[in-house]
Amino acid sequence: EYVPPLQIKRLLSEYQDNLDAACRALTAAARAAGSPDNLTCQLLCIDDLPVPDVDSVFRELTELPFPPPLEPGMILDGYHILREIHASPTSQLYLARDEDSGKQVVLKTPSVNFEDDPGYLERFRHEEWVGRRINSTHVLKIIEPVRRRRFLYHILEHLDGQTLRQWMADHPHPSLEKVREILQQIACGIRAFHRLDMLHRDLKPENIHIDQHGIVRIIDFGSAKIAGIAEIASPIAQTDLLGTKNYVAPEVLCGEPATTSADLFAFGVIAYELLTGHLPYGERLGREVNAKWMNRLRYIPARNERPDLPVWVDGALERAVRLDSKRRYVVETELIYDLRYPNPDFIERPLRPLLERNPIGFWRGIALLSLLGNLALMYWLHRG
């Protein structure tokens, strides 16, 4: 804790061929920084890992069978099923009661639609690892089993409340301050992922929960990418094209690997949608996208739907969802700051042409002028 991460990284890089020297350098740096402890350091270098074959990996993934269809009153590994909460093509959620402790939990079971899909099984297994590793008020907790499991499922903490999607339906015109409060909490959840070198890759209102106390949590990690695991060679085919239409970053749609910027793009879309009820590019940012198509897309100003929003808030939203990842915010806190404090870059920027600011209004105006011109011409010809 006395040696900054960047200095540790520099020393490891400098002595990568001599681990003993690296240990001495690290302990010396800690001592120089004032550490009062008895300093010891141990480093382990992994040169190679065996690449398992497809059959062995699949056997490991299917070691636990899928649970049977669950109904109220059934008992699964000591959990009394109370009711089904939600079912989708990819999973089911059940409210259950632990028969030993009496506590209510949520069981997440995999869908039988993917029983033979190793990629799905691997992501389902990783989701539990992610949920147990992240410790944040704003990320749903996945509970470690206290009994041996006979089936494949996750044990989630039970939360009262609703998804952000439902909250948006119930509050179609939220105040700017309320949106700031929600986004601040989502940003904390995203930061918890990124600090552990993880990407969420499927941020959207359906995967965010608000409880009765107003606490916001990210609740689904099925598409998460884990840096250390992602680099390990695997016979299971992987893809970066996960997520949901309109929230997937353009560069990912074009085939580039997902980065933290992709999560921040989705975060920006959520911010825009919270304030306007619409999407920053309409429904045009689908899965069939290429570089040529990107050049045709135009940001729809948030002030078209919310004229009460300050121009600098609209500028912050536009930067958050820029098609070019290099021109977006680097970290989520930058967007949070610019949504609360006016950024001079967004106040003093020149007014863009009407065609870019409001293309629908522009073409409606052209059509109206054309109609008026034709009527005037017909009147003139009739008089003549």
Q: What is the pLDDT of residues 345-366, one digit of tens each?
A: 998 655 555 555 556 666 677 7
Span(s) in the chain for CATH 3.30.200.20: 66-157
**Alpha carbon distance 177, 175 (integer Å):** 5
Please, what CATH class does the domain formed by 66-157 belong to? alpha beta
CA dihedral 215, 163, 324, 291 (to 10 degrees): 170
Answer for the pair 203, 185: CB distance below 8 angstroms, yes or no. no
3-class DSSP state for residue 97? strand
> What is the CATH T-level fold of the domain 161-349, as seen in this structure?
Transferase(Phosphotransferase); domain 1 (1.10.510)
pLDDT score for 161: 95
Torsion of the alpha carbons at 224, 229, 233 and 236, rounded to the nearest 10 = -40
Residue 256 per-residue DSSP state: P
What span, in angstroms and rounded, lies between the C-alpha atoms of 378 and 153? Answer: 73
The reported pLDDT for the residue numbered 260 is 96
> Which of 93, 95, 92 has its CA nearest to residue 83?
95
Task: Report the mean per-residue pLDDT for the chain.
Answer: 86
pTM of whole model > 0.85? no
Residues of the chain with CATH 1.10.510.10: 161-349
Task: Identify the pLDDT of residue 375.
Answer: 77
* Nearest CA among 345, 338, 253, 243 for reference residue 291: 253
d(Cα 167, Cα 185) in Å, to the nearest integer?
15
d(CA 292, CA 205): 29
Helix (H) or strand (E) holding 266: helix 260-276
Q: Residues in the chain with pLDDT < 50?
A: 49-58, 230-240
Helix or strand (DSSP H, E) at 161? strand 161-163
Closest C-alpha to 143, from 156, 129, 130? 156
